[in-house]
Amino acid sequence: MRSDARAAIVDTARSANAVLRPVGVRDVVLEDVFWAPRLRINRETTLAAQHQMLEQTGRLENFRRLTGASNAPFAGIYFNDSDVYKWLEGAAWSLATDPDPALTALVDQTVALIAAAQRPDGYLNTYFALDRASERWTNPDLHELYCAGHLFQAAVAHHRVTGSTALLNVATRFADHICDRFGLVEDGKIPWTDGHPEVELGLAELSRETDDERYLEQARFFVEVRGTGVLGRPYGRWGLEYHQDHLPVREQSEIVGHAVRAVYLYAGVADLCLERDKPELRSALDRLWASMTERKLYVTGGIGARHDGESFGDDHELPSATAYAETCASIGAVMWAWRMLALTGEARYADLIERELYNGILSGLALDGTTYFYVNPLADEGEHRRQPWFGTACCPPNLARLLPSLPGYVVSTSDDGLWLHLYATGTVEATLPDGQSARLRVETSYPWDGDISIEVWATGEWTLTLRVPEWVGDGASLEVAGETWPDGLMPGSYVAIRRRWAAGTVVRLRLPMPVRRVSCHPRVTENAGRVALMRGPLVYCLEVVDNPGVDVRDIVLPAEAEIEAKHRPELLGGVTTLSFDGRAAPVDGAWDRTLYREDVEGAPASIEPVRVVAVPYYAWANRQPGPMRVWLATR
Amino acid sequence: MRSDARAAIVDTARSANAVLRPVGVRDVVLEDVFWAPRLRINRETTLAAQHQMLEQTGRLENFRRLTGASNAPFAGIYFNDSDVYKWLEGAAWSLATDPDPALTALVDQTVALIAAAQRPDGYLNTYFALDRASERWTNPDLHELYCAGHLFQAAVAHHRVTGSTALLNVATRFADHICDRFGLVEDGKIPWTDGHPEVELGLAELSRETDDERYLEQARFFVEVRGTGVLGRPYGRWGLEYHQDHLPVREQSEIVGHAVRAVYLYAGVADLCLERDKPELRSALDRLWASMTERKLYVTGGIGARHDGESFGDDHELPSATAYAETCASIGAVMWAWRMLALTGEARYADLIERELYNGILSGLALDGTTYFYVNPLADEGEHRRQPWFGTACCPPNLARLLPSLPGYVVSTSDDGLWLHLYATGTVEATLPDGQSARLRVETSYPWDGDISIEVWATGEWTLTLRVPEWVGDGASLEVAGETWPDGLMPGSYVAIRRRWAAGTVVRLRLPMPVRRVSCHPRVTENAGRVALMRGPLVYCLEVVDNPGVDVRDIVLPAEAEIEAKHRPELLGGVTTLSFDGRAAPVDGAWDRTLYREDVEGAPASIEPVRVVAVPYYAWANRQPGPMRVWLATR
């Protein structure tokens, strides 16, 4: 059994093909203006509220049915166990940085309940139990392996954080059960993988945690059997592409189908590539990444253009109002990107992680941490509001596990030294290549300001590698121990500072955050002639509440407008707003009750000057409802 | 039993609230360049091919299971009977105008088979039979009443055309069964209506055909119980709005949910309003019609913006590439509009019928009559191609029944005389208010030319009412017996010519067909700055095959371009093309592998002059695949 008391989120410490090694959740203390308060709300409000929901909705009672403590009928849907596991994973990460006896007690109870519910043969799923026990492993679309994968992730987190094997033992017994049953037909095994990927990355991480190669081998099987047509799957309404089962992964190039399924799968494939040399899979990941980020990604990081099948659309199919952009899909994209970053050390993966965290993911959560978006559109008429829970409740606990694990995404180590990916005031402890400890003290008002000061408390010769985000403006600069860095800083790269460090050396990174007018590829028809406003990593939007007396749908951003950034600590928990002198071009009254008419040349009936205020996209729909827009007309 | 040997499509002859009365399918002989060849293909190719499909896919065998002539398992899906009924209805209408012994034999066989399959208690549905007989009427979402409604429509058509009661007797026995079982809970009956409307209009028409008021009363029940929440429906994935079950119909204002369900329902509601005074329902129909036509209608007449739920979107949600615009929904819109026209005599309903027929419906059918679109997008990259059949095969037989019934949509009578709605070369026979016969001989090259000559062979004083389409250009004129009509002709209206007619009087209606650049409401974001080309009732599109060497997605229609209309008899079965000197503005190479970048002012890298050719939208995808666009950039 491995012992990683520092609690890495993905333990690539000994992965054969990892460029980057983990620095655990416990090694990073966030004390910043942006994330630290959000982690506190998650700890103090969200996790407790979600546990109540797990109880109220029968998700925990479902486990009690199996222990004999309840006679209730099964409640909810067949993948409900996964929400319990995700909550448990989130609680574990939270305990890593913030011990809490009450939460520990809840976790212990829940772990004991899960362990008691496990069947004697290792199987564990509360839906396929009792009267439905005979239906186990008969339908690959019913998420049994998906739930198992979430159990494995929760068990690994729980073991890393607490040192207890109570849940890990449940996981390995279930994993053994799965390894015994799934494989080649000629070996008398079930030849399929799950309709919803997740078990692949769960098994890979379980293998890392237990040093049991068998689990990795099983993950390999699940990855490589996909798309080989070994079974006529009872897929019903949805087809093979929806399940990424239309081609072997190594032959896939276009990212298609259910967005969450896709990114969970490719995260698992990346795990496999971290551990083994799989050049064909590795190439496929590059093609699929390009497909996603070059043709199918919302400016917010949202993925999944279609409500129909919660799926990716065609190239450049990125409608704003009907965007699906599921919160879970953006979280899955981070999981995939993090593994790609570990594989390559390439900044574009960290850029995507940042885009997701500050926009497409964070919009999924209300400022008070109690309500959620499943779907994250980029335009709305005021009807889309966050909800306290969902029948399919994947997104809330996914947020509740991602947020407390965030410290684990801040920094990595490599053979050369330390890599800093995300910027936030706080402290990092890490072990250098020579075995010595290093401590970084970071000070910044990021994401509101791009000035970052890093005190380096370590000695010896090693490399501090800092991310220069893709969005950085002209004039980015770096100063090390008072000396200006001689080379230019290229946006979307890492800058490597190799030197013999003196304890207390100060590194100053200045990342200018001009307001950017971002255009979209011309094939995204509805964004033609429009821009999105960004500043630093943040995408902005217009909401009606900041722009009284004008319909935000009518607002035009003139080319000549100067856009003013102003920090407003009292607004939306503290945000920097953007404002400009715009125009309102209301819809001509000739369009009343008219959908089509012969083209009429000329300007709208009236154009009025108007002062326009934009707020960060993540903060929308926290006040009164009304139209919201990300993409603004420019004429 | 009524006797209407002239074969009206909807028999409003004695409807209390009808302004217009039917002229039967047999009363109109189409000999025009446009529809007559299509009706011939439907007769000679489509109906036969579809009958083969009904056989190959087990839809007929399903009936044989019930007669004991087959031991095959049930084939297909639970609503498969409806395809047999729709085919039968189409075959009946076809026989009305074109007797065909072979088709008659097929119809007779099929009717006999259906009659033999009927259960002793009158019930008839091949899915809920034998081993599934106990599941009858247990789930309102399984289309039992929907299939019944199609049986009723087929039986009425069969009776009107052939005079045989063989299928009508099956229908009335099943209708009696339904009337006995569905109604108020306090009467010990099942209180629901079907998840998929259709039975309402079927019962209404059956009532008209049999003079049995009970069927109309049952239709009223089904209309008025909807939305009253009398049952907790097992709707599963789809909700109440999808089924138009969220509000009582009389309280509905916004058209929502599954588009085919909606328009079938409102057609049935219109039937009820034709027969009875239902002011609240009548007002609701006006509101729902406005919702559909003023905010949720594609320029092609397509309805249903969303693949997800095959449903209407929000107001102004009309994406081109991902339009659903199901062929059946446009057909259903015609069914609804025809009943509204009978209720009101208002030209807007006939305008919609024309828009649907020449665009959104006809695009559902290949020129050779053997393949079909289910979905009719307004932009495509060349991947959307017509198919010979579908698992859910509603659209093919819906087309096969609409086309042969078209003669029934051409003309109506009223208390004043005759109303001509659609223009096509051919002959109309009708009975005037005074009981005398009238004959109209129409000559025109419509829709390629708007000059229409009508020889009137009748005497006496009565009114000939002619439609002036909404699209008509300046200079429309009317000449009656050589004299110019003194009043202006208003687009989107009817002009009433009341006079004492002499036999052989010639009426000349000249409807100029300038090419129109049609703009779309500014809230349809992706159409901003774009136009669709129309000429007469036809919407045009660009296909790659007519514009070699240029990507049609890059084409810009300049404001100053002159658009030339040219008839090309050799192309696509004979079409008028539109051509103009346009520009191609290819996507700047700076966008390669780039989805977002900072706004760059200025023109595209290159703009090339190009001669552009557009063809009627209905004819798209009949040649080589490639990008297609309806909405063209103008700058």
Residue B10 within a domain: no
Residue A239 within a domain: yes
Residue A59 within a domain: yes
Which residue among the candidates A310, A326, A354, A356 is catalytic per the annotation? A310
From B409, B441, B465, the end of a domain falls on: B409
Residue the block writes with tokens 């890393």: A160
- Condensed to tens digits (0 to 9), the pLDDT of residues A551-566 reads 999 999 999 999 999 9
From A380, A409, A438, the end of a domain falls on: A409
**Alpha-carbon distance A402 to A379, whole Å?**
25
Contact (CB, 8 A) for A359 and A538: yes
**Alpha-carbon distance B201 to B175, whole Å?**
13
| Structure token pair of residue B422 | 């659609």
**Nearest CA-CA partner of B629 in B569, B582, B592:** B582
**Residue A467, phi-psi category: left (phi > 0), alpha (psi -120 to 50), beta (remainder):** beta
Q: Which residues of chain B have pLDDT under 70?
A: 1-5, 231-236, 599-605
Domain count, chain A: 3
**Alpha-carbon distance B570 to B572, whole Å?**
7
What is the residue range of A179's domain?
A: 21-409
**Nearest CA of chain B to the CA of A48: how many Å?**
30
- pLDDT for the residue B599: 66
Burial of A102 from C-beta contacts in 10 A (0-12 / 13-18 / 19+): exposed
**Alpha-carbon distance A20 to B342, whole Å?**
74
Residue B2 within a domain: no
Q: Which long-range contacts (CB under 8 A, 24 or more apart) does A101-109 make?
A: A103/A43, A103/A47, A106/A51, A107/A158, A107/A162, A108/A166
Average pLDDT for chain A: 95
**Alpha-carbon distance B125 to B78, whole Å?**
9
Examine the domain organization and report whether B398 and B447 are in the same domain.
Answer: no
Confidence of residue A239 (pLDDT cuts 50, 70, 90): confident
Contacts of B314 in chain A (CB under 8 A): 321, 381
Q: Write the residue in A529, A595, A631 that is nearest to B520 by C-beta.
A: A595
DSSP β-bridge partners for residue A363: none
Do β-strands A417-420 and A460-468 pair in parallel, antiparallel, or remain unpaired?
parallel
Contact (CB, 8 A) for B291 and B263: no
Contact (CB, 8 A) for B280 and B265: no
Contacts of A523 in chain B (CB under 8 A): 553, 587
Give the three-state DSSP class for B28: strand
Examine the domain organization and report whether B421 and B358 are in the same domain.
Answer: no
Neighbouring CB atoms inside 10 A of B120's CB total 6
Contact (CB, 8 A) for A557 and A613: no
Any idea what DSSP says for residue B361? I
A294 interface with B at CB cutoff 8 Å: yes
Those residues with Cβ within 8 angstroms of residue A84's Cβ, 6 or more apart along the chain or in another chain: A54, A59, A60, A63, A110, A114
Interval A456-464 mean pLDDT: 97
Examine the domain organization and report whether A422 and A567 are in the same domain.
Answer: no
Report which secondary-structure segment, H or E, holds B22. Answer: strand B21-22
**Nearest CA-CA partner of B379 in B556, B532, B607, B516:** B532
Any idea what DSSP says for residue B183? S
Examine the domain organization and report whether A459 and A383 are in the same domain.
Answer: no
Examine the domain organization and report whether A263 and A371 are in the same domain.
Answer: yes
Q: Write the residue in A516, A596, A631 that is nearest to B598 by C-beta.
A: A516
**Alpha-carbon distance B132 to B134, whole Å?**
5
A interface test, pick of B297, B378, B595 with most A CB neighbours within 10 Å: B595
- pLDDT for the residue B3: 47
A394 counts as catalytic: yes
- pLDDT for the residue A591: 93
- CA-CA-CA-CA torsion for B36, B37, B43, B46, nearest 10 degrees? -130
Contact (CB, 8 A) for B283 and B266: no
Residue B36 within a domain: yes
Report which secondary-structure segment, H or E, holds B227. Answer: none
What is the radius of gyration, based on Cα positions, of chain A? 25
Residue B147 within a domain: yes
Residue the block writes with tokens 């279609």: A306
Residue B12 within a domain: no
CATH number at residue A455: 2.60.420
**Nearest CA-CA partner of B529 in A603, A541, A380:** A603
**Which chain B residues in 241-270 lie under 8 Å from chain A, judged by CB atoms?**
none
Contact (CB, 8 A) for B345 and B371: no
A461 counts as catalytic: no
- pLDDT for the residue B120: 97
**Alpha-carbon distance B461 to A336, whole Å?**
80
Which residue among the candidates B394, B395, B520, B541 is catalytic per the annotation? B394
Give the three-state DSSP class for B484: strand
Residue the block writes with tokens 């087929």: B154
Residue A56 within a domain: yes
Contact (CB, 8 A) for A52 and A60: no
**Alpha-carbon distance A190 to A171, whole Å?**
20
Report phi then psi at B449, rounded to 5.
-145, 145
Distance from the Cα of residue B535 to its chain's centroid = 20
Any idea what DSSP says for residue A414? -
Any idea what DSSP says for residue B236? T
A interface test, pick of B599, B607, B617, B634 with most A CB neighbours within 10 Å: B599
**Alpha-carbon distance A330 to A265, whole Å?**
14
Examine the domain organization and report whether B329 and B463 are in the same domain.
Answer: no
The complex's ipTM works out to: 0.94
Contacts of A553 in chain B (CB under 8 A): 523
**Alpha-carbon distance A506 to B284, whole Å?**
72
Return the exposure string of B126-136: e unless at least 16 CB atoms fall within 10 Å of the residue's CB, then b. bbbbeeeeeeb
Confidence of residue A379 (pLDDT cuts 50, 70, 90): very high
- Helices (H) then strands (E): counts for chain B: 14, 23
- Condensed to tens digits (0 to 9), the pLDDT of residues A557-593 reads 999 999 999 999 999 999 999 999 999 999 988 899 9
**Nearest CA-CA partner of B214 in B186, B187, B245, B183:** B183
**Which chain B residues in 580-619 lie under 8 Å from chain A, judged by CB atoms?**
587-588, 591, 593-601
Give B220's Cβ-side CA count (13 Å radius). Answer: 13
DSSP β-bridge partners for residue A148: none
Peptide bond into A586 cis (omega under 30): no
- Asked which of A264-273, A524-533, A605-614 is least confident by mean pLDDT, the reply is A605-614
Q: Which amino acid is at A337?
A: A
Contact assignment for A322 to B320 by CB distance below 8 Å:
no
Contact (CB, 8 A) for B1 and B210: yes
Give DSSP secondary structure letters for B535-577.
Answer: ETTEEEEEEGGGSTTS-GGGEE--TT---EEEEETTSTTSEEE
Interval A176-199 mean pLDDT: 94
Peptide bond into A609 cis (omega under 30): no
Axis crossing angle, helix B259-275 with helix B213-225, rounded to the nearest 10: 130
**Does residue A603 have a pLDDT over 60?**
no
Examine the domain organization and report whether A376 and A433 are in the same domain.
Answer: no
**How many residues are listed for chain B in this entry?**
635
- pLDDT for the residue A3: 47
- Condensed to tens digits (0 to 9), the pLDDT of residues B564-601 reads 999 999 999 999 999 999 999 999 888 999 999 996 65
| Structure token pair of residue A286 | 């590059």
Contact assignment for A518 to B587 by CB distance below 8 Å:
no
Sheet with B21-22: list strands edge to edge.
B21-22, B411-413, B417-420, B460-468, B493-501
Examine the domain organization and report whether B335 and B419 are in the same domain.
Answer: no
Alpha carbon separation from A16 to A21, A28, B165 (Å, rounded): 11, 25, 80
A interface test, pick of B348, B525, B553 with most A CB neighbours within 10 Å: B525
From B409, B431, B466, the end of a domain falls on: B409
**Does residue A405 have a pLDDT over 90?**
yes
Give DSSP secondary structure letters for A174-240.
Answer: HHHHHHHHBS-GGGT-B----SS--HHHHHHHHHHHHT-HHHHHHHHHHHHHTTS--S----TTS-T
The dihedral through the CA atoms of A613, A619, A621, A627 has a sign that is positive
Contact (CB, 8 A) for A39 and A299: no
Examine the domain organization and report whether B396 and B432 are in the same domain.
Answer: no
Examine the domain organization and report whether A117 and A194 are in the same domain.
Answer: yes
DSSP β-bridge partners for residue A583: A556, A609
Neighbouring CB atoms inside 10 A of A137's CB total 17
- Condensed to tens digits (0 to 9), the pLDDT of residues A120-171 reads 999 999 999 999 999 999 998 899 999 999 999 999 999 999 999 999 999 9
Examine the domain organization and report whether A231 and A321 are in the same domain.
Answer: yes
**Alpha-carbon distance B619 to B368, whole Å?**
11
The dihedral through the CA atoms of B353, B354, B359, B365 has a sign that is positive
Examine the domain organization and report whether A400 and A417 are in the same domain.
Answer: no
